[in-house]
Amino acid sequence: MLPVLIDIGANLAHDSFDRDREEVIGRAVQAGVAAMIVTGSTIADSERALALCRGFPGRLRATAGVHPHHAAGFPDADAPRLAALLADPMTVAAGECGLDYFRNFSPPAEQRRAFATQLRLASERMLPLFLHQRDAHADLVAMLREHPQLAARAVLHCFTDGPREAEDCLALGLSLGITGWICDERRGQALRDAVPRIPDDRLMLETDAPYLLPRTLQPKPPHRRNEPMYLPEVLRETARCRGQEPEDVAARTTANACRFFGVTLDSDSNLLI
């Protein structure tokens, strides 16, 4: 029997899924991925994610937010539009929000402004946070320290750093989302060193599809598009690094996701409306 999994971060509104989105969801369910949290990264993208959830209410829920890449295109005047999306019953977290200084597609000051706005909106709606961080660890931690109650209800999605950064995040109360980065023998060693230090109740799994196709997949697919159906590969590598059985990690991470996002699976592994 396949373990029941929840993919806490899948960009299913991405245009790479336009031709076969329903089949992608079906393949995920067949692989044991009972539910998927669809990531919103702009206001328009969040609207698409919510529309998708309404078409698959037994499988999908969404986040609503503005990724730091798009911070400069998120003026303060648009905050009410985002607030309305956060009020949708299909929205289970605020984000994807945070800081990304890797390419600075938006200036760092604009990123911090947009992040501060989303911290405020999440607090007003009492929603958990779905966070993004790349090359901005110190600033993200500093901003979250100003909001300890929010930090205690936040997951840093697609965590790719090492033990020191993990300890900083865990000290704030964050949960950590692990992707196929852990399956990358070229770039993933720091993450593999950090993963055993994550407490059982702060660990979640995700694909970040269509990105980060696990490099350990055998046989390798003939394409580079990641799908939620490959989440069991992330599970296997995470369990191996932690010295735990995959079935145990699956049960814990699924329970963590249900608790964190406030969702429930019925006896047939469907999301309860």
pLDDT tens-place string over residues 239-249: 999 999 999 99
272 — pLDDT class (breaks 50, 70, 90): confident
At 37, is the secondary structure helix, strand, or coil? Answer: strand
On average, the pLDDT of the chain sits at 97
Mean pLDDT, residues 148-155: 97
1 — pLDDT class (breaks 50, 70, 90): confident
149 — pLDDT class (breaks 50, 70, 90): very high
Flag whether pLDDT at 148 surpasses 80.
Answer: yes
Flag whether pLDDT at 114 surpasses 80.
Answer: yes
H/E element, 77:
none
* Domain boundary assignment for the chain: 5-261
Flag whether pLDDT at 273 surpasses 90.
Answer: no
Mean pLDDT, residues 110-117: 98
Q: Which fold has domain 5-261?
A: TIM Barrel (3.20.20)
Distance CA(269)–CA(264), nearest Å, equals: 9
User: For 10-66, what is each residue's pLDDT tens digit?
Assistant: 999 999 999 999 999 999 999 999 999 999 999 999 999 999 999 999 999 999 999
User: For 185-229, what is each residue's pLDDT tens digit?
Assistant: 899 999 999 999 999 999 999 999 999 999 999 999 988 999 999
- CA dihedral sign of residues 247, 262, 20, 238: negative
Q: Structure tokens of 257?
A: 């996701």
Q: In the chain, pLDDT over 70 holds for what percent of residues?
A: 100
At 93, is the secondary structure helix, strand, or coil? Answer: strand
Flag whether pLDDT at 69 surpasses 90.
Answer: yes
Are 9 and 41 in contact by the 8 Å Cβ rule? The answer is no
To the question of pTM greater than 0.95 for the whole model, the response is yes
User: For 165-190, what is each residue's pLDDT tens digit?
Assistant: 999 999 999 999 999 999 998 999 99
